[in-house]
A and B are shown apart, each in its own frame.
Chain A
Amino acid sequence: MPFDRWPRDIVDPQVNREKSQPIFSTDPAEFYYLGLNVPCQRACPAATNIPAYIRALFENHYNRSYEINRLSNILPGVLGRVCSRPCEDKCRHGETELGEPVGICQIKRAAADYKDPGHTYMTRLYAPLGKTVAIIGSGPAGLAAAHDLSSTGFKVVIYEAFNQPGGMLMYGIPEFRLPREILMHEIDGILRLGVDIRYGVKVGQDMALEDLLKDHDAVLVAAGCYASTRLGIPGEGLPGVHTGLDFMIRVTSGEPPKVGKKVLVLGAGFTAFDCARSALRLGAEDVSICLRRTEENLRVTGDEILETKSEGVRLESLLASRRMIGQAHVEGVEFTRTRLGTIGGDGRQQIIAIEGSEFVRPADTVIVAAGQRREPVKFLDDNHVEAETAAGDHAYVTSHPKLYVCGDYATGPSTVIEAIAGGRQAAGRIVEDLTGRKFREPVVRMEEAQVTDRQRVWDFIPRQAMPTVKPVGDRFETPQVEVELGYDAKTAHEEAKRCYLCYLHYEIDIDRCIYCRYCIDVAPRDCIKLVERIETNEMGAIVGYRETSHWQHVNAVVIDNSRCIRCGECLRVCPVNCITVTRIEQVERIRPTGGD
């Protein structure tokens, strides 16, 4: 009988053995492996287990897919709509020659959309610890911290300056991108843990910070960045000139400012795009976003750019504003053309104004969306909260022993997912400082797996487009209507097929390998290597391979998991069944007694 037709249990006596138990590790080498080989999870500030939730959705387990998300990022339905998607930038499917990244964010939204209407959140609750924490601000960072602290057994009270919760989610993002019932539903899922929230209280103004410190065991400042950055050019105070944040707060509060026919938005972030699209819904006819760099340098997602342009907003590149023109009201903006120089210290190309290129662009309304900064929460003696350090073990700590900071207040303007991750980490810091224990910790979970039912043909499925309200004119008839409609279940399933499931680790057992090279022949890219030597770092993690093409120097045939697309072809053709599959993923380990 030919060797490749032998029954597998003859070739591999271990085929019929019982499934092994998972192993948990905190070895830095394992985390290093994950960073290299599961790029989406590493790119997510909240370390969301992306392959796991995509696989769960593929298996039609929507509730489970949603819960895998919620364990890490708390607000999946919200993030499925407004996340900046750092994971997609790193998705292996987006590497050169492999196509486009998986629609990770859209799948997250599908999990939220198709979970059971009566789905119950699963939150591990600890017994009350008898300690209280005050949180200033109910934005994504404050809410995430409240979730973790409350479920760990702390009494949490949030002090919110506005009359509704959500911070920037409620007041900075328009309803046509984030429906308020979705936001409130997920916020309610946090508040139901027993979190108290007091609205209309601006700490440092309506209430002394000292009083909070007296009444609570810790105070976490998650007050965001609500002071608008000005451009510092003449005419910025003219009527008709708005800051982006104030404009959005008025729009989302239901008291929008009047806008003229011609609107110029100066800025390049999500706020600038939200302002431009909101201006159209308020009746503007000609809206342009003026960029100092180019469209290619934008940090806004490609889908957002496309939708904004589809609605008729122009993107005008390589312009720097010099002054606002007008007497009693703004009438235009004087710009200079810019060119891009070498890469500066911030990692971005420098902007150089071209001399003699000044020109005026008329406008009835100008919106300056040039960024935000924090408004310091002050003590009675006018000192304000200073973070001691921005990174490392002591991140979130301040010069006051009971005072912590997180989110945009600590880091400056960031993204929703970064704020959530920061809020959770700050909560972990507070828990450890107040109890001396760790109730949650990230670990690497490893478990034997089988080759999946993924088919090679799925690698050629194109990225599924997000359906939107069309024709675009229909969007303006009901300005609050959500523009993105979400995948239908079939499309979500199709998109989920595209995920390579990089949490699967393929490995060749050298002791059993017969060097037949069948696996190399079927590999769709250079993922299986003949190596002379494996390079490791001081942690013992594999960092590279010294390849060879001379048989006499080959010491091993290895699968480079950073190149592997988990097609499973190698395993299917291996005549001696020497390739194993292990599921390796970062998860959060719950420690019932905080490690006692």
Chain B
Amino acid sequence: MGARHLVVIGNGPAGKEAAAVLRDKEPESRITIISKDHEGQYRPNFLPDYISGRKSLEQLYATPFRFYQDQEIKLRLGQPVAVLDLEERRIILDHKEVIRFDGLVIAVGGRPRIPEPLLVFQDLMYTLKTVQDANSWIDRLASVDSVVIVGGDLTSFAITRALLQLGKRVGFVFSEEAFWPQRCNDQILRAAAAKLAARGVEVVPGRLKRIVRHSETRFEIMTDCRHLEAGLVGAFFGLVPDVRFLAGSGLQIERGILVDEYLNTGFEGVYAAGDCAQVYHPELRDYWVSIGYDNALRLGRIAASNLAGGREETTVPPESLFCDQGVRANTSWWLEF
């Protein structure tokens, strides 16, 4: 019998970490990472600093290609997965190639979320998830002096800080969609708004109703109580697990892939980790999608370790939780703004 073939879908922090742990635990196994991205692993949390010029392009990339070579991890970039067939334990890639696996870690991460009511304005708003997105921001910021941010997720506060450093005028449309997927309350909104206002940001509470493009560098943003003008509109509504390709695979999917506390999907040898895994948390009394770079690394490690025969539970550190309508949630990033 040949060596086990362990496959990781996704080359973000969770996926890369999972592959590294698997190599450590199973030196004889064949390990393959499949990623739809064309570029190597980068640190998305550095993208705002890259835009402001405080980080170079080289500093964005977290893992050199040499690492995969040394670890004998086969890296397949730019190859989206079309179908996951759990019965036959095979993956069909977009270009129809079939890859069989003995163990699998799904770590596909998330994609920028645009709330459904705003999908009609999708083409008018900039998001920030990839290096390519960051380069688009840099290009456009060269010709505009004002930006309106709508939403209120982790990245929105970081990009706001970056924009202020660049001397841009920033407006912030703050609504209950902030802190998605948790419901926000007035107390949190007021505290966050006060912090933004103290840094010179024009805070506009309310829902975004409409965006009108007057020219390439002039947009009118209408909320339910104000009209704003800006040269660029950024949408920051969090990330949504990028799991559409798994529909019909048999995996249980809510926002992300539902897994148990060991990150197992319910299928033997199939785990999920990072932004795409959703686990029930007894303290929160809710299903939980972990976010942030460090969490992704940790979950990648746990998933790989359990795939290699371990029995490690995932937990959420209680100090990073806050209480919202009786539900505690880990969305403390704005406090660091």
Contact (Cβ within 8 A) A339 B280: yes
CB distance from A507 to the nearest CB of B (A): 27
Which residues of chain A (328-360) have a CB below 8 Å from chain B? 337, 339-340, 349, 354, 356-360
Q: Which residues of B have CB within 8 Å of A470? A: 120
Judge whether B285 and A317 touch: CB under 8 Å: no
Q: B285 touches which one: A309, A311, A337, A339 (CB < 8 A)?
A: A337
- A356 CB to nearest chain B CB (Å): 7
**In the complex, which residues of chain B have a beta carbon less than 8 angstroms from the beta carbon of A354?**
280
Which A residues lie within 8 Å of B286 (CB)? 337
The distance from the CB of A535 to the nearest CB of chain B, in whole angstroms, is: 22
- Given the interface pairs A96-B82, A97-B96, A473-B209, the reply to whether A294 lies near B253 with Cβ below 8 Å is yes
Contact B287 A318 (CB under 8 A): yes
Q: Is A118 an interface residue (CB 8 A)?
A: no
The CA of A349 and the CA of B247, in the complex, are separated in Å by: 16
Whether B280 contacts A97 by the Cβ 8 Å rule is no
Q: Specify which chain A residues have a CB less than 8 angstroms from the CB of B258 in the assembled complex.
A: 294, 339-340
Task: Check A358/B210 contact, CB under 8 A, given A296-B247, A337-B280.
Answer: no
Q: Cβ of A97: which chain B residues have Cβ within 8 Å of it?
A: 82-83, 92, 96
Interface size class of B (residues with CB under 8 A): 20 to 34
Question: Please, how many angstroms separate the alpha-carbon atoms of A339 and B280 in the complex?
Answer: 9
Write the chain A residue with the least CB distance to B120: A470
Contact B254 A310 (CB under 8 A): no
Q: Does the CB pair A359–B285 fall under 8 Å?
A: yes
The answer to whether A295 has its CB under 8 Å from any CB of chain B is: yes
Q: Does A543 contact B (CB under 8 A)?
A: no
Q: With A and B bound together, what is the CA distance between A296 and B249 in angstroms?
A: 11
Give the contacts of A530-568 with B (CB-CB under 8 A): none
Q: Is A13 an interface residue (CB 8 A)?
A: no
For residue B309, CB closer than 8 A to chain A, the reply is no
Given A310-B117, A359-B326, A359-B327, A471 and B210 contact (CB-CB distance below 8 Å): yes
State whether B209 touches A318 (Cβ < 8 A): no
Nearest B residue to A473 via CB reads B209
Q: Is B116 an interface residue (CB 8 A)?
A: yes
- Decide if B254 touches A317 in the complex (CB within 8 Å): yes
Bitwise, B69-89 to A at CB < 8 A (1) or not (0) is 000000000000011000000
Tell whether B282 is near chain A: CB-to-CB under 8 Å: yes
Contacts of B280 in A (CB 8 A): 337, 339, 354, 357
* Chain B 238-276 near chain A by CB (<8 Å), digits 1 or 0: 000000000100001111001000000000000000000
Identity of the chain A residue whose Cβ is nearest the Cβ of B94 in the assembled complex: A97
Q: Which of B82, B117, B285 contacts A357 (CB 8 A)?
A: B285
Residue of A whose beta carbon sits closest to that of B326: A359
Q: Which residue of B lies closest to A294 (CB)?
A: B254
Query: If A97-B92, A97-B96, A360-B326 touch, does A340 touch B117 (CB 8 Å cutoff)?
Result: no
- Rounded to whole Å, the gap between the CB of A508 and the closest CB of chain B is 25
Contact B282 A357 (CB under 8 A): yes
Question: Chain B contacts of A360 at CB under 8 A?
Answer: 326
Whole-angstrom CA separation of A472 from B209 in the bound complex:
9
Q: Mark B102-126, 1 if CB is under 8 A from A, else 0.
A: 0000000000000011011100000
Q: Is the CB of B96 within 8 A of A309?
A: no
**Closest chain B CB from A346 CB (angstroms):** 17
| CB nearest to B260 among chain A residues | A339
User: Which A residues lie within 8 Å of B116 (CB)?
Assistant: 306, 309-310, 312
Q: Among the listed B117, B252, B325, B326, which residue makes an inter-chain contact with A472, where contact means beta carbons less than 8 Å apart?
A: B117
Smallest Cβ-Cβ distance to B210: which chain A residue: A471
Partner of B254, one of A309, A312, A318, A362: A318
Interface centre among B96, B252, B286, B327 (most CB of A within 10 A): B252
Q: Which one of A96, A358, A471 contacts B209 once the chains associate, using CB atoms below 8 Å?
A: A471
How far is the CB of B249 from the nearest CB of chain A, in Å?
A: 10
Residues on B with beta carbons closer than 8 Å to the beta carbon of A337: 280, 285-287
Q: How far is the CA of A364 from the CA of B96 in the complex (A)?
A: 52
Q: Is the CB of B83 within 8 A of A96?
A: yes
Please report the C-alpha to C-alpha distance between residue A294 and residue B287 in the assembled complex, in whole angstroms: 12
How many Å lie between the Cα of A311 and that of B116 in the bound state? 8
| Chain A window 454-484, contacts with chain B (Cβ cutoff 8 Å), 1 for yes, 0 for no | 0000000000000000111100000000000
Is B282 a contact of A356 with CB atoms below 8 Å? yes
Q: B210 to chain A: which residues have CB within 8 Å?
A: 471, 473
B193 to chain A, nearest CB (A): 20
Nearest to A312 among chain B residues (CB) is B117
**Residue ID in chain A nearest B282 by CB atoms:** A356
List residues of B (132-190) whose CB comes within 8 Å of A's CBs: none
Q: Which residues of B are found within 8 Å of A357, using beta-carbon distances?
A: 280, 282, 285
B120 adjacent to A472 (CB under 8 Å): yes
Q: Which residues of A contact B117 (CB under 8 A)?
A: 309-312, 471-472
Distance A310 CA – B210 CA, assembled complex (angstroms): 13
User: Closest CB of chain A to B235's CB: distance in Å?
Assistant: 15
Q: How far is the CB of A252 from chain B (nearest CB, A)?
A: 25
Instruction: Verify A471–B120 contact, CB threshold 8 A.
Output: yes
Which B292-337 residues have a C-beta within 8 angstroms of A? 325-327
Q: Which residues 256-315 in A have Cβ within 8 Å of B in the complex?
A: 294-296, 306, 309-312
Among the listed B82, B119, B282, which residue makes an inter-chain contact with A310, where contact means beta carbons less than 8 Å apart? B119
Quote the shortest CB–CB distance from B125 to chain A (angstroms). Answer: 14
Alpha-carbon distance A126/B210, docked complex (angstroms): 58
> How near does chain B come to A231, taking the closest CB pair, in angstroms?
21
B contact residues around A359 at 8 Å (CB): 285, 326-327
Q: Which of A312-326 contact B (CB under 8 A)?
A: 312, 317-318
A389 to B285, CA, bound (A): 46
Query: CB within 8 Å of B: which of A167-215?
Result: none
In the complex formed, the residue of A with least CB distance to B247 is: A296
Task: Provide the bound-state CA to CA distance between A340 and B285, in Å.
Answer: 16
1/0 contact string of A470-502 vs chain B (CB within 8 Å): 111100000000000000000000000000000
A310 to B120, CA, bound (A): 9
The answer on a CB contact under 8 Å between A295 and B120 is: no
Q: C-beta contact mask, A96-129 vs B, less than 8 Å → 1, else 0?
A: 1100000000000000000000000000000000
What's the minimum C-beta distance from A526 to chain B, rounded to whole angstroms?
11
Which residues does chain B contribute within 8 Å of A473, judged by CB atoms? Answer: 209-210
Complex-state Cα separation, A296 to B286, whole angstroms: 18
Residues in B neighbouring A349, C-beta threshold 8 A: 252
Nearest CB of chain A from residue B22's CB, rounded to whole Å: 28
Q: Which A residues are CB-close (under 8 A) to B83?
A: 96-97
Report the Cα distance A471→B210, complex, angstroms: 7
- Chain A proximity of B118: nearest CB distance (Å): 9
| A342, closest chain B residue (CB) | B266
**Cα distance A457–B215 in the bound complex, in angstroms:** 36
What's the least CB distance linking B137 to chain A, in Å? 25
In the complex, the chain A residue whose C-beta lies closest to that of B116 is A309
Which residues of A lie under 8 Å from residue B325 when comparing CB positions?
A: 362
Nearest B residue to A302, CB-CB: B247
- Best-buried of B116, B247, B258, B327 by chain A (most CB within 10 Å): B116
> Which B residues lie within 8 Å of A358 (CB)?
285
**Does B252 contact A340, Cβ atoms closer than 8 Å?**
yes
8 Å CB interface, A412-450 against B: none
**Measured CA separation A358–B119 after assembly (Å):** 34
Q: Which of B82, B92, B258 has the most CB of A within 10 A?
A: B258
- Tell me the residues in window 347-404 of chain A with beta carbons closer than 8 Å to chain B beta carbons: 349, 354, 356-360, 362
Nearest CB on B from A54, distance (A): 25
| B211 shortest CB reach to chain A, Å | 9
Q: A97-B83, A471-B120 are in contact. List 10 more A-B contacts (CB 8 A).
A: A96-B92, A97-B82, A310-B117, A310-B119, A311-B117, A340-B252, A356-B285, A471-B209, A473-B209, A473-B210
The 3 closest A-B pairs by CB, nearest first: A309-B116, A310-B116, A294-B254
| A-B residue pairs in contact (CB < 8 Å), sample of 13 | A96-B83, A96-B92, A97-B82, A97-B96, A296-B252, A296-B253, A310-B119, A337-B287, A356-B282, A357-B282, A359-B327, A360-B326, A470-B120
Q: Which residues of A contact B (CB under 8 A)?
A: 96-97, 294-296, 306, 309-312, 317-318, 337, 339-340, 349, 354, 356-360, 362, 470-473
Taking Cβ atoms with an 8 Å cutoff, the residues of B that contact A are: 82-83, 92, 96, 116-117, 119-121, 209-210, 247, 252-255, 258, 280, 282, 285-287, 325-327
